[in-house]
Structure 1
């Protein structure tokens, strides 16, 4: 366990529970095998050094939390075994969105819905038949970083997406996501620093890339992605977190910031920035703020209903479970008005997005609110 623990901390590729025990055997070896080693200037390698230099007390705590995590994963794995009866064809995905300015003077969030970018990604490896992309960007200090990411990140992703046959689709897709985030951040910082005065905008990024029925979730900052999965045993919808938030109060994030010469005051980098990873924020990049996303992988099943991607403006006033249940109740509401020429499912999902965004504002979220719901079509 100790050996496992030393690998666990800095992993960028954090897989959600596999859909079967057969998958489970493979997953452990998939995380970093075959990826180019991180260079000494790579933020990922500095994160590794920091984690390995933590004190023995911290290691003990980590072991304990790792054991708890493994227990949790074990339970979730059992649930997944039960939901994966029979084969599942390629599940359709369709995104809907609602955004509210809230009490802010301007709207600094941005979003992208690309239900199908298969053609743009060709020539694809033969085992891939569908590619989709959904993203929410929560800007701060201005709208330029979030807009830039919304306009460019998927374009960079398409250019870097595996072309033709590859040895491992999973490793190649994950490397592609890492390179895409790095490249997009560098492009924006170059543009920002060339301005007079230099732009100080920054943005979170929560991106869901669907390759056939596998989701790759790449995240920077505190926006979140949640999967709504129906549990046949309890006959309830559950909220499965697909992303990991990055706040400077988290131990590993704080250690990296301090090693880089920065500090965390009042839960913020240098007492100002609320997130510890972002696109942009050039003035904080020398203080340990990085643009290396955490990447999770999740296999969709026939019990999955929708994906919720939203900025922290929603999650300040809704827990993931509350948000999922709110959407489910909207989807089942018989009083939703249907417009002529519009499909019933479209009307329901649009209403769910709008109602949830409105409710977040009513509950006192003073922030911009962006709610994206991706319907999983069976």
Structure 2
């Protein structure tokens, strides 16, 4: 059994190019959002460098309340490098991006935004290690478990007990390798440009969890729960989450799916968003919308076109605005991470 549900490896550079390498042997209230399966690349845990030097990752965020009474979403953007000393073997930079889509209140989302990365930081493998990838996955799984347990303890201490819950979509960038973890139906997608056609390829970095999926439903039923109208007990529309204490004994899990994805020279940006965005956009439409807005603002027709950072910032806010305009009544949070080479 493979450790990670892998995404495709980066394409090899043409023979004779400066970045080419000799051939190597490979070792072997929540609502549903649209599901897109990602490609897998099992058995390709290679220790090669993706590129020379680190890519620059710059984040932009836009939040919209939609038609809800309050904003129940939260997000985190931080550089963990200084606090994480000594760093894991062969890693010099550790960045963290996350979006949390709360339901039943905003407390679980805010708690996760303040604490999940701190728990990751406590558990990151320090110094030399025989298998950094395995240790990174264990660190992420343990951090999710600890964060959930800490919130549930706090929630239970109140009378009446808090019933808040939240999805989570997190990206941990260890140099030029992404580790993606998610619970629920928030999503992360990567825009990768096809070098031959110059057209975008959309890589889904996350797997949604809702109780209508066979494996999710079976786990819930084995735990004594049931699925009615696409919801756990006819109430909760996700099958994995942080919080939701009243559903944990019924099979709602705090165990995230974890993927690993090396960045390449063909990558342009990562989009993290709650399902409020994907009620109005498919992943492909969102990627195209961002690319179109970034390119339009850099048009030579404009006397002084804005710089790249400003263009991505503008595209992020326009995407959130357009989701609301198209009728997404839910909260909308868009976190856009531009990749510069």
TM-score by length of 2: 0.87
Is 1:92 aligned to residue 83 of structure 2?
A: no
CA deviation profile, 1:96-127 (whole Å, cap 9, x unmatched): 0001000000000000111x321111111340
Aligned to 1:14: 5
Quote the RMSD (CA, aligned, Å): 2.4
CA deviation profile, 1:143-202 (whole Å, cap 9, x unmatched): 000000000000111111111111111011100000000000000000001100000000
Asked if structure 2 preserves the Cα contact closer than 8 Å seen for 1:138 and 1:146, the reply is yes
Residue in structure 1 matching 2:114, options 151, 163, 174: 151
Asked if structure 1 preserves the Cα contact closer than 8 Å seen for 2:74 and 2:101, the reply is yes
Asked if structure 2 preserves the Cα contact closer than 8 Å seen for 1:220 and 1:245, the reply is yes
- Provide the C-alpha distance between the structure 2 equivalents of 1:202 and 1:23, rounded to a whole number of angstroms: 46
- Provide the C-alpha distance between the structure 2 equivalents of 1:199 and 1:321, rounded to a whole number of angstroms: 37
Aligned to 1:167: 130
1:268-307 correspondence to structure 2 within 5 Å: 268-307=231-270
Runs of at least 5 residues in structure 2 that lack an aligned partner in the other structure: 13-22, 29-36
- Provide the C-alpha distance between the structure 2 equivalents of 1:244 and 1:214, rounded to a whole number of angstroms: 18
- Deviation of the 1:87 alpha carbon: 3.5
Is 1:131 aligned to residue 127 of structure 2?
A: no
- Provide the C-alpha distance between the structure 2 equivalents of 1:215 and 1:85, rounded to a whole number of angstroms: 13
SS, match of residue 330 in structure 1: helix
Aligned to 1:202: 165
SS, match of residue 161 in structure 2: coil
User: Is 86-95 or 225-234 further displaced after alignment?
Assistant: 86-95
Aligned to 2:287: 324
Change (3 A) 1:228 1:128: same
CA deviation profile, 1:42-79 (whole Å, cap 9, x unmatched): xxxxxxxxxxxxxxxxxxxxxxxxxxx99x657xx9xx
CA deviation profile, 1:289-326 (whole Å, cap 9, x unmatched): 01000000001000000000000000011000000000
SS, match of residue 188 in structure 1: helix
- Provide the C-alpha distance between the structure 2 equivalents of 1:96 and 1:25, rounded to a whole number of angstroms: 37
Asked if structure 1 preserves the Cα contact closer than 8 Å seen for 2:169 and 2:181, the reply is yes
- Deviation of the 1:335 alpha carbon: 7.3
Q: Which has the higher helix share?
A: 1
- Provide the C-alpha distance between the structure 2 equivalents of 1:118 and 1:85, rounded to a whole number of angstroms: 19
Aligned to 1:107: 71
SS, match of residue 252 in structure 1: helix
- Deviation of the 1:93 alpha carbon: 0.7
Asked if structure 1 preserves the Cα contact closer than 8 Å seen for 2:297 and 2:306, the reply is no
Asked if structure 1 preserves the Cα contact closer than 8 Å seen for 2:191 and 2:270, the reply is yes
Residue in structure 2 matching 1:185, options 131, 140, 148: 148
CA deviation profile, 1:259-290 (whole Å, cap 9, x unmatched): 00000000000000010000000000011001
User: Is 174-183 or 325-334 further displaced after alignment?
Assistant: 325-334
CA deviation profile, 1:80-100 (whole Å, cap 9, x unmatched): xxxx99844211111100010
CA deviation profile, 1:217-253 (whole Å, cap 9, x unmatched): 0000000000000001222011110000001000000
User: Is 117-126 or 194-203 further displaced after alignment?
Assistant: 117-126
